Amino acid sequence: MAKKSKWPTAVFLAVKFRRISDFLLNMKTLILNIKNAPLVFVTPDPTPASMQTNLTALEDAETKAKTRVIGSAADRDVRYDVCYKDLKDATAYVQKIANEAADAAIAISIIETAGLSVRVNGSKIKAPIDAKNATDEGVVDLTAKSGGKNTIYLWQKGTDGIAWTDLPLTQLSKTSVDGLTPGQKMYFRVRTKNKTGLSDWSAAVVIIVV
């Protein structure tokens, strides 16, 4: 096993959550990732169900807070704190599972399966593929880890992580997918082809389209 100081660490970037909407989206993705990997996250603590219950309560409180009803903002903030604790506890749980991995590569895979960022010695490790909702409705921007010069990127999408549909290949490590249905859960993966050959498909990234 790698030295403790070099062991991969699961982290979430608080800067992403300056808006409640960003926090809600990231939490939904985290919950889905943990729920959809029961062989990896056998006994998640907190459970996806409890996190979803708290998140739904926060969504309702945020909607009410926008009406500026007296006391609604304070109630929203309390429910946010509950969900934020869920996030920290879930991250700690993922880290616990990663710490039990046979090697650092497997630990990184576990952390990325949850959709969390990975750090080793304080440096962030770029995931094989990242998915973010674009400004336009129903559009997702994908970014892959660079394969170097003269690399071709092959992309796929799916709705269940089992059946896949090819997307147009690119010579850049990024692409956009449009025509998606808001509220739908989508899976994406990528592989590269360059002078070293054709890589394996990356682990899938999951996102809820907005």
pLDDT tens digit sequence for 8-49: 888 876 545 567 888 888 888 889 889 888 888 999 999 999
pLDDT value, residue 4: 52
**Where in the chain do CATH 2.60.40.10 domains reside?**
129-208
Q: Reply yes or no on whether the pLDDT at 3 is more than 50.
A: no
pLDDT value, residue 82: 96
Query: Does the model's pTM come out above 0.85?
Result: no
The CATH number given to 129-208 is 2.60.40.10
pLDDT value, residue 125: 64
What's the rounded mean pLDDT across residues 118-123?
Answer: 74
The residues near 48 (Cβ < 8 Å, ≥ 6 apart) are: 31, 32, 34, 35
- Residue that the structure tokens 């799916």 belong to: 158
Residue 5 pLDDT grade (very low, low, confident, very high; cuts 50, 70, 90): low
pLDDT value, residue 1: 44
DSSP conformation letters of 63-95:
HHHTTT-TTHHHHHHHHHHHHHHHHHHHHHHHH
Residue 151 pLDDT grade (very low, low, confident, very high; cuts 50, 70, 90): very high
Give the separation between CA 146 and CA 124, rounded to whole angstroms.
15
101 residue type, one letter: A
Bridge partners (DSSP) of residue 118 are 10, 125
What's the rounded mean pLDDT across residues 118-134?
Answer: 77
Task: Select the more confidently predicted residue: 116 or 81.
Answer: 81
Nearest to 117 by CA among 5, 40, 11, 202: 11
Q: Reply yes or no on whether the pLDDT at 127 is more than 60.
A: yes
Length of the chain: 210
- Residue that the structure tokens 């549909």 belong to: 165
